[in-house]
Amino acid sequence: MKLLVIHGPNLNLLGRREPEVYGRTTLEEINGWLKEWGKQKGVQVDAFQSNSEGEIVSKIQQAGDKHQALVINPGAYTHTSVAIRDAAAACGLPVVEVHLSNIFSREEYRHRSYLAEVASGQIAGFGPLSYLLGLTAAHRLASKV
Ligand code: DQA
Protein backbone atom coordinates (compact mmCIF):
# COMPACT_ATOMS: atom_id res chain seq x y z
CA MET A 1 0.00 0.00 0.00
CA LYS A 2 1.15 3.54 -0.79
CA LEU A 3 -0.07 6.63 1.06
CA LEU A 4 0.69 10.20 0.04
CA VAL A 5 1.18 13.09 2.46
CA ILE A 6 1.01 16.61 0.99
CA HIS A 7 2.24 19.66 2.88
CA GLY A 8 1.09 23.04 1.59
CA PRO A 9 2.62 26.52 1.59
CA ASN A 10 5.02 27.71 4.28
CA LEU A 11 5.18 24.29 5.91
CA ASN A 12 8.76 24.00 4.61
CA LEU A 13 9.51 26.66 7.27
CA LEU A 14 8.33 24.52 10.20
CA GLY A 15 10.68 24.73 13.16
CA ARG A 16 11.32 28.45 12.71
CA ARG A 17 7.90 29.66 11.51
CA GLU A 18 5.81 31.12 14.38
CA PRO A 19 7.07 28.44 16.81
CA GLU A 20 4.55 29.54 19.46
CA VAL A 21 1.81 28.36 17.06
CA TYR A 22 3.45 25.53 15.10
CA GLY A 23 6.16 24.28 17.47
CA ARG A 24 9.84 23.64 16.83
CA THR A 25 9.65 20.36 14.93
CA THR A 26 10.93 20.69 11.36
CA LEU A 27 9.19 19.28 8.29
CA GLU A 28 12.12 16.93 7.77
CA GLU A 29 11.61 15.53 11.28
CA ILE A 30 7.87 15.09 10.69
CA ASN A 31 8.48 13.31 7.38
CA GLY A 32 11.02 11.07 9.13
CA TRP A 33 8.38 10.05 11.71
CA LEU A 34 5.83 9.39 8.96
CA LYS A 35 8.24 7.19 7.01
CA GLU A 36 9.19 5.34 10.21
CA TRP A 37 5.48 4.73 10.91
CA GLY A 38 5.20 3.39 7.34
CA LYS A 39 8.12 1.00 7.86
CA GLN A 40 6.50 -0.43 10.97
CA LYS A 41 3.18 -0.95 9.16
CA GLY A 42 4.68 -2.16 5.87
CA VAL A 43 3.26 0.88 4.08
CA GLN A 44 5.12 3.17 1.67
CA VAL A 45 4.64 6.78 2.78
CA ASP A 46 5.50 9.41 0.16
CA ALA A 47 5.75 13.05 1.24
CA PHE A 48 5.50 16.14 -0.96
CA GLN A 49 5.66 19.85 -0.07
CA SER A 50 4.89 22.79 -2.32
CA ASN A 51 4.19 26.48 -1.96
CA SER A 52 2.36 26.45 -5.28
CA GLU A 53 -1.38 25.78 -5.55
CA GLY A 54 -1.03 24.45 -9.13
CA GLU A 55 1.68 21.95 -8.14
CA ILE A 56 -0.49 20.67 -5.31
CA VAL A 57 -3.46 20.25 -7.69
CA SER A 58 -1.25 18.30 -10.14
CA LYS A 59 0.11 16.08 -7.36
CA ILE A 60 -3.42 15.26 -6.16
CA GLN A 61 -4.43 14.38 -9.73
CA GLN A 62 -1.45 11.99 -10.07
CA ALA A 63 -2.12 10.43 -6.66
CA GLY A 64 -5.32 8.81 -7.97
CA ASP A 65 -3.21 6.35 -10.04
CA LYS A 66 -0.38 5.69 -7.59
CA HIS A 67 -1.68 5.92 -4.04
CA GLN A 68 -4.52 4.43 -2.03
CA ALA A 69 -5.21 7.41 0.25
CA LEU A 70 -4.16 10.99 0.76
CA VAL A 71 -3.28 12.98 3.88
CA ILE A 72 -3.10 16.71 3.23
CA ASN A 73 -2.36 19.86 5.15
CA PRO A 74 -3.19 22.54 2.59
CA GLY A 75 -1.89 25.33 4.87
CA ALA A 76 -3.44 28.69 3.99
CA TYR A 77 -4.94 27.19 0.80
CA THR A 78 -7.38 25.39 3.12
CA HIS A 79 -9.25 28.65 3.46
CA THR A 80 -9.03 29.86 -0.15
CA SER A 81 -8.62 27.07 -2.68
CA VAL A 82 -11.58 25.72 -4.60
CA ALA A 83 -9.05 24.17 -7.02
CA ILE A 84 -7.53 21.95 -4.30
CA ARG A 85 -11.03 21.05 -3.07
CA ASP A 86 -12.05 20.07 -6.62
CA ALA A 87 -8.89 18.01 -7.19
CA ALA A 88 -9.47 16.16 -3.92
CA ALA A 89 -13.11 15.50 -4.86
CA ALA A 90 -12.03 14.15 -8.27
CA CYS A 91 -9.10 11.95 -7.19
CA GLY A 92 -11.27 9.05 -6.06
CA LEU A 93 -9.18 8.42 -2.91
CA PRO A 94 -10.03 8.79 0.77
CA VAL A 95 -8.72 12.22 1.81
CA VAL A 96 -7.79 13.11 5.40
CA GLU A 97 -7.32 16.82 6.15
CA VAL A 98 -4.79 17.63 8.87
CA HIS A 99 -3.65 20.80 10.63
CA LEU A 100 -0.99 21.31 13.26
CA SER A 101 -2.97 24.05 14.98
CA ASN A 102 -6.62 24.05 16.01
CA ILE A 103 -7.94 26.24 13.20
CA PHE A 104 -11.23 26.74 15.06
CA SER A 105 -9.59 28.40 18.04
CA ARG A 106 -7.80 30.92 15.79
CA GLU A 107 -8.81 33.83 13.55
CA GLU A 108 -12.27 33.58 12.04
CA TYR A 109 -10.93 33.41 8.46
CA ARG A 110 -9.28 30.08 9.39
CA HIS A 111 -12.56 28.51 10.48
CA ARG A 112 -13.62 27.89 6.88
CA SER A 113 -12.14 24.90 5.06
CA TYR A 114 -13.08 24.38 1.41
CA LEU A 115 -11.52 20.92 1.63
CA ALA A 116 -13.52 19.72 4.64
CA GLU A 117 -16.73 19.08 2.70
CA VAL A 118 -15.00 16.55 0.40
CA ALA A 119 -12.57 15.06 2.96
CA SER A 120 -13.36 11.85 4.86
CA GLY A 121 -12.49 13.75 8.02
CA GLN A 122 -10.28 16.38 9.60
CA ILE A 123 -7.71 16.29 12.40
CA ALA A 124 -6.52 19.60 13.83
CA GLY A 125 -4.74 20.89 16.89
CA PHE A 126 -2.31 18.14 17.85
CA GLY A 127 0.88 19.54 16.36
CA PRO A 128 2.96 16.97 14.46
CA LEU A 129 0.81 14.22 16.01
CA SER A 130 -2.03 15.41 13.73
CA TYR A 131 -0.10 13.88 10.81
CA LEU A 132 0.36 10.51 12.51
CA LEU A 133 -3.32 10.42 13.47
CA GLY A 134 -4.19 11.41 9.89
CA LEU A 135 -1.98 8.68 8.47
CA THR A 136 -3.57 6.10 10.79
CA ALA A 137 -7.02 7.19 9.60
CA ALA A 138 -5.95 7.14 5.94
CA HIS A 139 -4.50 3.64 6.36
CA ARG A 140 -7.74 2.38 7.90
CA LEU A 141 -9.81 3.98 5.15
CA ALA A 142 -7.57 2.55 2.41
CA SER A 143 -7.70 -0.91 4.03
CA LYS A 144 -11.49 -0.59 4.34
CA VAL A 145 -11.41 -1.95 7.91
C1 DQA B 1 -2.27 25.26 9.15
C2 DQA B 1 -3.36 26.28 9.55
C3 DQA B 1 -3.55 27.31 8.45
O4 DQA B 1 -4.54 28.25 8.82
C5 DQA B 1 -2.25 28.05 8.18
O6 DQA B 1 -2.42 28.96 7.12
C7 DQA B 1 -1.11 27.13 7.93
C8 DQA B 1 -0.97 25.94 8.77
C9 DQA B 1 -1.96 24.29 10.31
O10 DQA B 1 -1.36 23.25 10.04
O11 DQA B 1 -2.28 24.56 11.47
O12 DQA B 1 -0.24 27.38 7.10
O13 DQA B 1 -2.75 24.49 8.06
Say whether pLDDT at 145 is over 80.
no
Over range 33-55, report the average pLDDT: 98
Say whether pLDDT at 6 is over 70.
yes
**Arithmetic mean of pLDDT over the chain:** 97
Say whether pLDDT at 65 is over 90.
no
Confidence of residue 88 (pLDDT cuts 50, 70, 90): very high
Over range 62-68, report the average pLDDT: 93
Ligand 1 center to 11 CA (angstroms): 8
Percentage of residues in the chain with pLDDT exceeding 70? Answer: 99
Beta carbon of 80 within 6 Å of any ligand 1 atom: no
Give residues with Cβ within 8 angstroms of 36, minimum separation 6.
none
Mutate to test the pocket of ligand 1, among 78, 79, 108, 122 (most ligand atoms within 8 A of CB): 78
Q: Has 99 been annotated as catalytic? A: yes
Say whether pLDDT at 1 is over 90.
yes
Confidence of residue 97 (pLDDT cuts 50, 70, 90): very high
Over range 72-88, report the average pLDDT: 98
Per-residue burial over 12-36, b = 16 or more CB atoms within 10 Å of its CB, e = otherwise: bebeeeeeeebbebbbeebbebbbe
Q: Has 22 been annotated as catalytic? A: yes
Mutate to test the pocket of ligand 1, among 17, 73, 113 (most ligand atoms within 8 A of CB): 73
